A and B are shown apart, each in its own frame.
Chain A
């Protein structure tokens, strides 16, 4: 590098750094949130309806929901999905450990729920990449749901 180019480089770096520091380069993030990629409010509401339908059709797990308030379950699943996928909601239900405590949920049942969610996402034509991002948000809940 010649001294002139070097000086120019240093100067432009300084200008860039200053610009970052005063925040003038922080253009709004154009990347859609995962929530938006799921179709926003309407998309997630439909997805959760289909998810509940899939659960209700699965002999391995439907009995667990026999005495549930399905309307509330639907709202809470929607809120939780919204919060997890950066939709700007706040999940107000009980945490997973409390909700499933004492139920002794088996690994078979947990996998059945995961498959129900996969089928619901397939039905809503959600891309594999978005599905994987969603599933990776739910998978760590295994330790707070299974066998407690």
Chain B
């Protein structure tokens, strides 16, 4: 584990320790803030959901600070950031990704910064018959564009739009609470944007589907799976859809830990990228 990771664990532990002296977490039911996905928006691991970060309800502020590491066979993704929500209505997020491609080009990394905004339009995850509906956008800025450009990417910046619907059925299969989220996204991003935006094969926004499900074994433990469709814009190497299966632990509203196994397919010409995903999240 790199030093940065250890430091972050210590920071989270410290935040958890001092939490009781700052404001109590928001009023929403435990785990209803989901996690923060690798792009910085509240969601699962790889899919933004219609949920808003943290536990804030009306008249409350909510938020989550997070660190995530993914270790596919030949690469390493480190991502971190923070998201804040106001009145369970609006979410603003900032995320940073660093993707180690040492196996392809020794010493090189890809990087991007993602600024996100999300607006809850209608519905309430648990209490309304209709699903909770949100729209969002993610402005992504690739800060190491030389390599993406060299392999055919057209833009160093990109804008994703999405609409997401989430619903939790309290009394689902096996009398367990069942969660479902469906997201439709318009994007030009290559490997989320780490390889830039648009390409020689296609340079228009594509509409992709993303799906997540979860089953709460208890209020504090959830297992689930995700699927994320991806564009395939670059001629130099194919890009595959992503999958993961996850387990989430929410010991309190303050802290959650998500572990997953992800299948990221082919990345930059290296096939069959599978590996562990681990995320630490500190919420308000």
Contact = CB atoms under 8 A, between A and B. Distances in A.
Interface of A: 60, 106-108, 110-112, 114-115, 118, 128-130, 132-133, 135-136, 139-140, 142-143, 146
8 contacts: A107-B27, A107-B57, A108-B60, A111-B29, A129-B174, A129-B175, A132-B172, A139-B170
A93 to B, nearest CB: 21
Which of B170, B174, B217 lies at the interface centre, i.e. has the most chain A CB atoms within 10 A of its CB?
Answer: B170
Contacts of A129: 174-176
B88 interface: yes
A26 B172 CA distance: 28
A114 B174 CA distance: 21
Contact of A128 (B127, B169, B176): B176
B177 interface: yes
B218 interface: yes
Which interface residue of B27, B58, B177, B218 has the most chain A CB atoms within 10 A? Answer: B27
A101 to B, nearest CB: 18
Given A128-B218, A139-B127, A133 B27 contact: no
Given A106-B57, A107-B57, A112-B27, A143 B170 contact: no
Nearest to B56: A108
Given A115-B29, A139-B126, A142-B127, A132 B176 contact: yes
B6 interface: no
A106 B87 CA distance: 12
Contacts of B169: 136
Contacts of A135: 170-171
Chain B interface mostly: loop
A132 B28 contact: no
Given A108-B60, A133-B171, A142 B219 contact: no
B173 to A, nearest CB: 11
B127 A143 contact: yes
Contacts of A111: 27-29, 57
Given A115-B29, A128-B219, A136 B128 contact: no
B271 interface: no
Nearest to B126: A139
A135 B126 CA distance: 10
Contacts of A106: 57-59
Interface in B96-113: none
B124 interface: yes
Contacts of B171: 132-133, 135-136
Contacts of B88: 107
A60 B29 CA distance: 15
